[in-house]
Amino acid sequence: MSMIPFKSGISIPLLVAIQICGQAESHEFQAETRKLLDIVAKSLYSDKEVFIRELISNASDALEKQRYLSLTESGGSPATQMEIRISTDKQSMTLTIQDSGIGMTREELVSNLGTIARSGSKAFVEKAAGGEAASNVIGQFGVGFYSVFMVADDVTVYTRTHAPDAKGWCWTSTGLGTYEIAEASDVSPGTKIVMRLKPESREFADDGVVKDIIKKYSNFVGSPIFLNEAQINTIQPLWVMDPKAITDDMHTEFYRFVGNAYDKPRFTLHYKTDSPLMIQALLYFPETKPDMFDLSSDKSSQVALYSRRVLIQSKADSLLPKWLRFVKGKWKLRIVLTNKILRFLNDKSTQQPQEYADFYKDYNIFLKEGVITSQDQNEKKEVAKLLRYESSLKPAGETVSLEDYCSRLQPGQTEIYYLSAVSRDLALSSPYYEAMTGKKVEVLLCYEQHDEVVLMQLRQFGKYNLTSVEKEMRQDKEADAAQTEDMGPDSLLPDVLDKVMADIQTTLKGRVQSVRVNKRLQTHPCAVTVEEMAAARHFLKMHGERMDDEMRFSVLQPRLEINPRHPLIRRLAAIYRQKPELAALVTEQLFTNAMLQAGLILDARTALTSMNKLLEMALDGH
């Protein structure tokens, strides 16, 4: 008699040792089951390979049930080694899956395999009343067994319970509407399923193919899985373990396995809770910087969904929002816990500020994407707490949070001010920042192009509005009052000022909506403002190349803010009377410079035309 030895010393007879000793009884599947089998034959699942996952899940259920019964009924440990054994045979085109689990009686064969969605797992979970055995049951797929008929011409099931006087049974079917049951001798306790594969499914008799499928779907099943005598599932599912029992080396090994990575996890979030929902999550934040592929919004999630240790979805995009696609790990859960990740990162930012700063430097783009794309306002608020920007009141390189900023608000201040520029030097030397110095308020400095879009989308933080200093300049009521004020001895006289403003308006007709005085400007001759500067810049990046000048200025409606104390503006008033052509060129160049400084000209080379003409006039002695 040919034998397969278990590690415990107990041997399970091979198929050739089993004898049919009773008269086979023919049965018809229930009508619903016959319908299901027809659906399965036409591929109920998107990938036929999942039939192996389903059978391993059922085998694991059977082992857990037997383990539970052994402990509760006899008060001891199971006598049989709890294992799943799989064998392939290319020559005969068969695949065999065998377990030493609870097995089935004749009545259970009829009930479980002859009736749709009666695998018994759900009833067992209810009976176990939430104990350890229930938590380890994988099943509840309901129709999993029938998936074998996607790949098999016929299926034979040998089974026997562990009761001393239990009979062995043989169940066979081609999946075409009927099945047969007969008594069998020399059947080992547990269940063995032998599948004779269809010619088009012969690859499932290849041990390499089956090994890859086991690793893909069932690598973390609680019982050992052997394929042709070699154990396949050797990696422990860390997410089900006590977090305190897991070392850094274990996390690194597991992270590299699940993430197909070579670095180490920067942060590790291991979260377990039973109330109000049963959730087990193990998430890793990569140490390496994201590459261009990682930044792509088309990239799938790197988080896998497992139910009872069996892979349900390897790249579960619905588990986390798209902007958290850089997180790698395993989840065993009932709901998505994005807020848990956000709280975790917020804690890191306060408890380990330098480590968080390093993380933020590499991965802030994803957080900002979260603000822009999230439809959940509470989620936006939580992500906003993680944002960091340089501040006009802090040294270069030091960043602050929005909460930090709010803690230093001036009395009566209701706005959080920010300024977009490519560098700190350009920000602090811009006319827009200069216009804020009189208010003595803190300004957040945004160096990335998308930063102002992020803050514009956020709109508020707590009870405070997020306002661009450029927008604040345009809405400055003091500037409106300054149109009729005496600006002092260094300024143009009111009647001369009115004339030069009218001349500038005429020169820039069709390009500026209006011209006005701004007494906050100190060292700059002028500045341009539009209603929503951030939105305008974003709009131009998206559509500017398809617009002519007339259309662009019609959309922007820019206003030119002038400093009547600046030497250029004072000289311009006289030049308009003496050399109007030169005055027009100077005006156009000042406007172009202001548009460049505002980021409203896509190609700086366009400014060269008026500049060259101005130089020609200067050299000609005008």
Residue 302 assigned to a binding site: no
Residue 57 assigned to a binding site: no
Cα distance between residue 398 and residue 421, in whole Å: 17
Residue 145 assigned to a binding site: yes
Copy the structure tokens of residue 514. 């209006």
Which amino acid belongs to residue 507? T
**44 Cβ neighbours under 8 A, 6+ residues apart:** 36, 143, 146, 147, 150
Q: Are 328 and 261 within 8 A, CB to CB?
A: yes
Residue 191 assigned to a binding site: yes
Residue 54 assigned to a binding site: yes
Copy the structure tokens of residue 584. 């027009």
Q: Which long-range contacts (CB under 8 A, 24 or more apart) does 124-131 make?
A: 124/61, 124/65, 128/68, 131/68
Residue 404 assigned to a binding site: no
- H/E stretch holding 87: strand 84-89
Rounded to 5 degrees, φ, ψ at 279 are -135, 135
Residue 143 assigned to a binding site: yes
Q: Which of 384, 379, 382, 361 is nearest to 454 (CA)?
A: 384
Residue 375 assigned to a binding site: no
Copy the structure tokens of residue 373. 């794309």
Residue 120 assigned to a binding site: yes
Rounded to 5 degrees, φ, ψ at 598 are -85, -10
**457 Cβ neighbours under 8 A, 6+ residues apart:** 371, 372, 380
Cα distance between residue 373 and residue 454, in whole Å: 10
Tell how far CA 32 is from the center of its chain: 40
Name the DSSP letter for residue 394: S
Radius of gyration of the chain (CA): 37
Residue for token pair 């700059």: 524
Residue 469 assigned to a binding site: no
Q: Are 440 and 410 within 8 A, CB to CB?
A: yes
Residue 507 assigned to a binding site: no
Residue 518 assigned to a binding site: no
Residue 144 assigned to a binding site: yes
Which amino acid belongs to residue 260? N
Binding residues for ATP: 54, 58, 99, 104, 112, 119-120, 140-145, 191
Binding residues: 54, 58, 99, 104, 112, 119-120, 140-145, 191
